[in-house]
Amino acid sequence: MTTHHSPLTSNTSHLLVTGGAGFIGANFVNYWLNNYPDDRVVVLDALTYAGNLASLEPAKNNPNFHFVHGDICNQELAERLLRDESIDTIVHFAAESHVDRSIHGPDTFIQTNIVGTHSLLKAAKSVWLDSHSSLLRPQSSVLKPYRFHHVSTDEVYGSLGPEDPPFTEHTPYAPNSPYSASKAASDHLVRAYHHTHDLNITTSNCSNNYGPYQFPEKLIPLFIINILEGKPLPVYGDGLNIRDWLYVEDHCKGIDLILQKGRPGEVYNIGGNCEKTNLEMVETLCKNMDERKPSSSLTSYSSLLTFVKDRPGHDRRYAIDSSKIKKELGFEPYESFETGIRKTIDWYLQNESWWRAVMDGSYREWLDRQYGQKHN
Ligand code: NAD
Ligand code: TYD
């Protein structure tokens, strides 16, 4: 991929996007380069199983895009990138993100989500606040200089009962899974670097995302692909757990608003105002697929639905109160549940080569070529 250095005097922004080869990160990079074509976007990504260079295809030949294969735990690398690329904005997506994996193998969650976030905070403090290079800060026409935006989840607030009001920014933290506990710890570190060191941070806690480029271990892409392959649809427990779904591009727009207008040190909840039980979600997916790609052997794909053993500690309900970001920054999700699901299904139907490469492992070919077969 190409490298390009903009002069320090330019009035464009230079973003470091961690985890930019993952689901939301890649959508964000593609969104940003489309909307701010003069800005420079540097992606730092370790290319774990969840990272996929094919998701960055739309950016690949853009001279303002640069991909760096590396770990956020490597503070020296992060500092070098902040200096060499004159980065004024970090958008921190990199994380281990799948609750089921955090139950069986929590160590990488602690390492990446907590230690990695702390390493990145130290790098930002060192380069932006401690060193003289801060005199050379680029002036941004779009964004305020030196912002560390931390992307987090509503799962840090724990689980809601059926009658509870949705999570606000003041809901006490009560994480229930190793994943959400590690994200909660990272949120606290980000907050602490603002209060202790006056680092210019913002945090967003967002509800469940769906859309293009989502790794097919999460509910929606897994079920779309299982439907296409005629495989069972494994619904955990009674299927009545509730999630508040947001189309991924709307999440990107929310982060964009926070970067442009968000107040330093503030936390913003982002949600879709779209609570659905898992059964409602599965029925919607089956109905859409019945219309778009009817099965030759089944009357409806809903006959593939199979109840399986529940996830340990499975949170019952998440729901977000987005009134703060709506009132302060004018955020409103653009996609409805119906249009978002239709777009997502379209994308998986039209991009079979993307998910087939994930399923057969060939999406890791770039790493194989770079490092032989020894990589993670
Ligand atoms: P993802 O698992 O699809 O992508 C994570 C990316 O981070 C991958 O590209 C991976 O290679 C990279 N990565 C992992 N460890 C790394 C490390 N040590 N150094 C550098 N890169 C590393 O995740 P996602 O669903 O895109 O989520 C992105 C962020 O948004 C996460 O912080 C997650 O907690 C948060 N979030 C996700 C959702 C959701 O519904 N997916 C909702 C709210 C918040
Ligand atoms: P998931 O996409 O893993 O997101 P999260 O756990 O972070 O909310 O799961 C969304 C919901 O779907 C959650 O209640 C668990 C449920 N689920 C199933 O019922 N079956 C599955 O195979 C998966 C992956 C999830």
pLDDT tens digits for range 214-237: 999 999 999 999 999 999 999 999
Give the whole-angstrom CA distance, residue 217 versus residue 78. 29
Tell me the two tokens of residue 264: 């330093």
Calculate how far, in angstroms, residue 94's C-alpha sits from the geometric centre of ligand 1. Answer: 4
Question: What per-residue confidence (pLDDT) applies to 248?
Answer: 98
Is 327's pLDDT higher than 50? yes
- Judged against a pLDDT cut of 50, whether residue 5 lies above it is answered with no
Full residue range of the structural domain in which residue 147 is found? 14-209+247-271+317-335+361-371
Q: Is the residue at 193 inside a domain?
A: yes
The stretches of 85-240 forming alpha helices (DSSP H) are 99-104, 107-109, 117-124, 178-197, 219-228
Closest atom of ligand 2 to CA, residue 233: 22
pLDDT band at 1 (very low <50, low <70, confident <90, very high): very low
Query: From the candidates 36, 179, 213, 301, which is the catalytic residue?
Result: 179
Q: Is the CB of 208 under 6 A from ligand 1?
A: yes
Give the span between the Cα atoms of 21 and 75, in whole angstroms: 19
Residue 303 CA to ligand 1 centre (angstroms): 33
Q: Is residue 221 part of a domain?
A: no
154 is catalytic: yes
Residue 153 Cβ contacting ligand 1 at under 6 Å? yes
Whole-number pLDDT of residue 4: 36
**pLDDT bracket for residue 367 (50, 70, 90):** confident
User: What mean pLDDT do residues 292-302 have?
Assistant: 95
Stretch 95-113: mean pLDDT, rounded?
A: 97
What pLDDT is stored for residue 376 in this prediction? 55
Measured in angstroms, how far is the CA atom of residue 10 from the centroid of ligand 1? 30
Mean pLDDT computed over every residue of the chain = 93
Q: What is the pLDDT of residues 256-278, one digit of tens each?
A: 999 999 999 999 999 999 999 99
81 falls in which pLDDT band (50, 70, 90)? very high
| Position 9 confidence tier, pLDDT thresholds 50, 70, 90 | very low
The CATH number that applies at residue 194 is: 3.40.50.720
CB 151 within 8 A of CB 24: yes
Q: Is residue 376 part of a domain?
A: no
Q: How far is CA 355 from CA 71, 212, 222, in A?
A: 25, 10, 10
Distances (CA, A) of 55 to 10, 172, 356: 29, 35, 13
DSSP string, 206-269: E-EEESTT--TTSHHHHHHHHHHTT--EEEETTS--EEEEEEHHHHHHHHHHHHHHPPTT-EEE
The helix (H) or strand (E) run that includes residue 285 is: helix 278-292
Active site residue 107: no
Q: Tell me which residue has its CA closest to atom 13 in ligand 1.
A: 94
The number of folded domains in the chain is 1
Which ligand 1 atom is the nearest neighbour of the CA of 210?
40
Q: How does residue 372 score in pLDDT terms, banded at 50, 70 and 90?
A: confident
Mutate to test the pocket of ligand 1, among 17, 48, 155 (most ligand atoms within 8 A of CB): 48
Q: Give pLDDT, residue 239.
A: 98
Q: Does ligand 2 come within 6 angstroms of the Cβ of 219? A: yes
Indicate the pLDDT class of residue 375, thresholds 50, 70 and 90.
Answer: low
Is 225 part of a structural domain of the chain? no
Q: Does any domain span residue 277?
A: no
Query: For position 140, what pLDDT does the model report?
Result: 45
CB 52 within 8 A of CB 26: yes
Residue 85 is given by DSSP the state T
- Per-residue burial over 308-343, b = 16 or more CB atoms within 10 Å of its CB, e = otherwise: eeeeeeebebbbbbbebbbeebebebebebeebbbb
At residue 176, φ and ψ (nearest 5 deg) are -110, -20
Ligand 2 mutation pick, 236, 242, 251, 310, max ligand atoms within 8 A of CB: 236
268 is catalytic: no
Per-residue confidence (pLDDT) for residue 374, from 0 to 100: 58
Q: Is residue 224, in this structure, part of any structural domain at all? A: no
**Among protein residues, the one whose CA lies closest to atom 21 of ligand 2:** 219
Q: Does residue 56 carry a pLDDT above 60?
A: yes
> Does the structure show a pLDDT above 60 at 8?
no
Residue 223 belongs to some domain of the structure: no
Q: How far apart are CA 153 and CA 110, in angstroms?
A: 16
* pLDDT given for residue 79 in this prediction: 98
Q: Could you tell me the pLDDT band of residue 135, with boundaries at 50, 70 and 90?
A: very low
Residue 30 has pLDDT above 70, yes or no: yes
Tally: H helices and E strands in the chain: 13, 12
Q: Give me the pLDDT at residue 370, please.
A: 81
pLDDT computed for residue 366 by the predictor: 85
* Residue among 278, 306, 307 whose CB has most ligand 2 atoms within 8 A, to mutate: 278
Would you say residue 353 lies in a domain? no
How far, in Å, from the CA of 211 to the mean position of ligand 1? Answer: 14
Report whether residue 285 contacts ligand 2, using a CB cutoff of 6 Å.
Answer: no
Among the listed residues 154, 250, 256, 275, the single catalytic one is: 154
**Tell me, what's the pLDDT at 371?**
77
